Amino acid sequence: MCHVEGWTRHSGFQNKKQPGFFQKSATRAALSKCEGPPSLQRATPSRTTAIMSATATATLGWKFSSPVLLRRRSGSVRAVSRAPQAARADAAIIDGKAIAETVREEVREKVAAMKEATGKVPGLAVVLVGGRKDSETYVRSKKKACGEAGIESFGTDLPGDATEDEVLAVVAAYNADPNVHGILVQLPMPDHIDEERVLGAIDYEKDVDGFHPLNIGRLSQRGREPLFVPCTPRGCIELLERSGIPIAGKEAVVVGRSNVVGTPAALLLQRRDATVTIVHSRTPNSEEIVKRADIVIAACGRMEMVKGSWLKPGAAVIDVGINAKDDDTKKRGYRLVGDVDFEECKKVAGHITPVPGGVGPMTIAILLQNTLEGAARAYKYEL
Ligand code: GUN
């Protein structure tokens, strides 16, 4: 750790070989939970037709329970005991923790190969202004993840009353540092600091958050390529793609329009040829619109807002929310829940992310990936 102009500046570099990286294919794990409909052969002996109490579609999962009704060709109906009745199985859980571990392992291997070939490693600088406990926790996790991936981490912690010029000076120093390939200013910053000005001051070639106007502008335009894409939205897309969920031609609804998640998530889905709608706090009929969606990304910051009744059966649901819900059964008095009512939605969705263990771990994994890609570009090294 060193001190620069009165602020705490850290330079941590670990290159420990990490035991315990998840080896199993997360995609396989997620997909293995999605059962196809079993043959109805045994329930439909010749001369009878099964009348199922639920609608069967080939893409939905099924489980079996109580009797079905059998109709004779004559038209009379009899109940057959112990014959199976179809009911939808719960959604396949998208294991974000396992998928994030896979991404982190991929990054670690590529960082090692890059070091071997060039003698260089990627560097990430994280700037924290003020002492928000949640931000401090996120920043600590980001630095730890860098160490585990073989990425050099730099950091500057500024007090909550730091001036905007002081923040800009730190950003300028990292812009000029050739060992730094990614700069992240943790949000939110204190109110007296102009976020737009600070984010715009980051060199767009080091903008691992993808929030610089040039990168977000390119993301929004057809035929243009941003240098970086925001981490959480990119993580949502990775979860869908690595779970084998098609996006092109599908109807997608994003709940929430924030600069950090909702808007870039919608742009990413559109670039993958989904038909995209954003609903937000002023949308009068969000439920009706969400019900059309094959893919739902919930990032509205409202605890358990998306209900099971809002979903089209079989929809893929990505829950970005993290909210603390009172829970006396927990030692700490609360548990984490998302913007989706998980217990209800898992009964209707085809795939769903849990909270915690869904989108959360992906944000850091993608941050590492973005930093690696930034370094590779700087060194003209092909990944
Ligand atoms: N605060 C919450 N999410 C993010 C993020 O993705 N990037 C930054 N810089 N700050 C955040």
pLDDT, residue 88, reads 76
CATH code 3.40.50.1820 for 229-361: no
Least confident of 4-8, 107-111, 319-323, 336-340: 4-8
Residue of 376, 375, 8 lying closest to 177 (CA atoms): 375
Q: Is the pLDDT of residue 3 over 70?
A: no
% of the chain beyond a pLDDT of 70: 78
pLDDT, residue 87, reads 73
Sign of the alpha-carbon dihedral angle for 246, 252, 256, 260: positive
pLDDT tens-digit profile of 38-96? 322 233 333 333 323 333 333 344 444 344 444 444 444 444 445 556 677 999 999 99
Per the DSSP assignment, residues forming a β-bridge with 276 are: 252
370 lines ligand 1 (CB under 6 A): no
pLDDT, residue 151, reads 98
231 lines ligand 1 (CB under 6 A): yes
- Name the closest-CA residue to atom 2, ligand 1: 187
Top-ranked range on mean pLDDT: pick from 35-39, 71-75, 320-324: 320-324
pLDDT, residue 77, reads 46
- pTM across the whole model: 0.81
278 lines ligand 1 (CB under 6 A): no
Q: Is the pLDDT of residue 103 over 50?
A: yes
Residues near 369 by beta carbon (within 8 Å), at least 6 away in sequence: 103, 106, 107
Do residues 323 and 362 touch, judged by C-beta distance below 8 A?
no
Per the DSSP assignment, residues forming a β-bridge with 275 are: 251
187 lines ligand 1 (CB under 6 A): yes
202 lines ligand 1 (CB under 6 A): no
- Name the closest-CA residue to atom 11, ligand 1: 187
**187 CA distance to ligand 1 middle (Å):** 5
Least confident of 14-23, 57-66, 345-354: 14-23
Angle at 376 between CA 375 and CA 379, to 5 degrees: 85
Tell me the CATH number of domain 121-223, given options 3.40.50.2000, 3.40.50.10860, 3.90.105.10, 1.10.287.70. 3.40.50.10860
pLDDT, residue 166, reads 98
Domain boundaries, the chain: 1-85, 121-223, 229-361
Residue of 90, 1, 94 lying closest to 296 (CA atoms): 94
353 lines ligand 1 (CB under 6 A): no
Of 74 and 151, the one with more pLDDT: 151
209 lines ligand 1 (CB under 6 A): yes
Q: SS3 of 123, please?
A: strand
Least confident of 31-35, 160-164, 189-193, 223-227: 31-35
Domain 121-223 matches domain 229-361 at the CATH topology level: yes
The b/e string for 289-300 (b: 16+ C-beta within 10 A; e otherwise) is bbbebbbbbbbb
185 lines ligand 1 (CB under 6 A): yes
pLDDT tens-digit profile of 201-211? 999 999 999 99
Query: How far from chain centre, in Å, is Cα 257?
Result: 15
Residues constituting the chain: 383
**358 CA distance to ligand 1 middle (Å):** 17
Enclosing H/E stretch for 238: helix 231-242
pLDDT, residue 85, reads 60
**51 CA distance to ligand 1 middle (Å):** 52
For residue 68, count CB atoms less than 10 angstroms from its CB and return exposed for 0-12, middle for 13-18, buried for 19 or more. Answer: buried
Mutation choice for ligand 1 from 187, 234, 370, CB with most ligand atoms inside 8 A: 187
Q: Is the pLDDT of residue 249 over 90?
A: yes
- Name the closest-CA residue to atom 1, ligand 1: 187
pLDDT, residue 247, reads 99
**230 CA distance to ligand 1 middle (Å):** 9
Q: Which atom of ligand 1 is nearest to the CA of 363?
A: 6
Token pair listed for 91? 């959604």
Mutation choice for ligand 1 from 138, 195, 228, CB with most ligand atoms inside 8 A: 138
Mean pLDDT of the chain: 85
**218 CA distance to ligand 1 middle (Å):** 20
List residues with catalytic annotation.
142, 186, 209
